[in-house]
Amino acid sequence: MILQTKSEKIKSKLLFTRWFAWVGILVLAVIFFISLFQQNKEEIPSVFIGRKLPNISLDMLDGSEKKLELNKLNSGAYTLVNFWASWCGSCEYEHEFLAKIKAEQHIKIIGINYKDDKKQALDWLKRLGNPYDIVLTDPNGLAAIELGVYGTPESFLLDAKGRVLTRIAGALSTQVWSSRVLPVTKLNIG
């Protein structure tokens, strides 16, 4: 029988502990990388899916006295609530697609101008055209925070009763529309 000295036992335990720690780190890294590739990166969860938007009252961008409460959006048709800004490059890219949606579909589009200069936002709409039925303003970003908006552009698609069907972070395009909107609405953009 081979007897181990006290220092050999300590070295053996230390070697086993280090080996076990490295195996644990490796297992966690593998799990992390697998989860990265399995997630749908286009889909950001929202607590509002299947529910109405909260009671948020926003002013009209044009400065009129009228306010609109987001939880009262139930137009009897699909409604797209789109956060945008004149300083947002992706919003300009998306703008042409919003005009196409407006021309081809019976869908109400509500634009919410996010943390923007009012004059620049109005000039931007004048220059590019206004695809929105209603344009609201969120100058401090408080409505965006309450809705969990990450940035611009970001959109919420509502059903005829005002319930959120899906949330789209990033610019809308034909590809995004086909993968995220078409499956829940059958609204096809040509």
Residue 90: how many other CB atoms lie within 10 Å = 16
CATH 2.60.40.1150 for the 57-185 domain, yes or no: no
Average pLDDT of the segment spanning 69-98: 89
Pairing of strands 108-114, 154-158: unpaired
List, in sequence order, every residue forming a beta bridge with 57; answer none if it has no partner: 69
Instruction: Please determine, for residue 162, whether its predicted confidence score (pLDDT) is greater than 70.
Output: yes
Residue 3 CB burial class (10 angstroms; 0-12, 13-18, ≥19)? exposed
Q: According to the model, what pLDDT value does residue 155 have?
A: 93
- Give per-residue pLDDT as tens, 107-153: 899 999 999 999 999 999 999 999 999 999 999 999 999 988 988 99
Instruction: Please determine, for residue 91, whether its predicted confidence score (pLDDT) is greater than 90.
Output: yes
In this structure, what token pair is assigned to residue 78? Answer: 């699909």
Q: Which helix (H) or strand (E) holds 113?
A: strand 108-114
Instruction: Please determine, for residue 2, whether its predicted confidence score (pLDDT) is greater than 60.
Output: no
Q: According to the model, what pLDDT value does residue 67 have?
A: 84
Q: 62-66, 144-148, 171-175 — which is least confidently predicted? A: 62-66
φ, ψ for residue 28, nearest 5 deg: -60, -40
Quick one: which of 150, 146, 149, 124 has its CA closest to 135? 124
Instruction: Please determine, for residue 159, whether its predicted confidence score (pLDDT) is greater than 80.
Output: yes
Residue 100 CB burial class (10 angstroms; 0-12, 13-18, ≥19)? middle
In this structure, what token pair is assigned to residue 182? Answer: 């078409």
Q: Which pLDDT band, with edges at 50, 70 and 90, does 185 fall under?
A: confident
Predicted model pTM: 0.74
Is the separation of the CB atoms in 115 and 86 below 8 Å?
A: no
What is the SS3 assignment for 108?
Answer: strand
Q: According to the model, what pLDDT value does residue 141 have?
A: 92
Instruction: Please determine, for residue 92, whether its predicted confidence score (pLDDT) is greater than 90.
Output: yes
- Give per-residue pLDDT as tens, 9-60: 777 776 667 776 777 787 777 766 665 554 444 556 676 788 888 888 999 9
Quick one: which of 84, 62, 56 has its CA closest to 168? 84
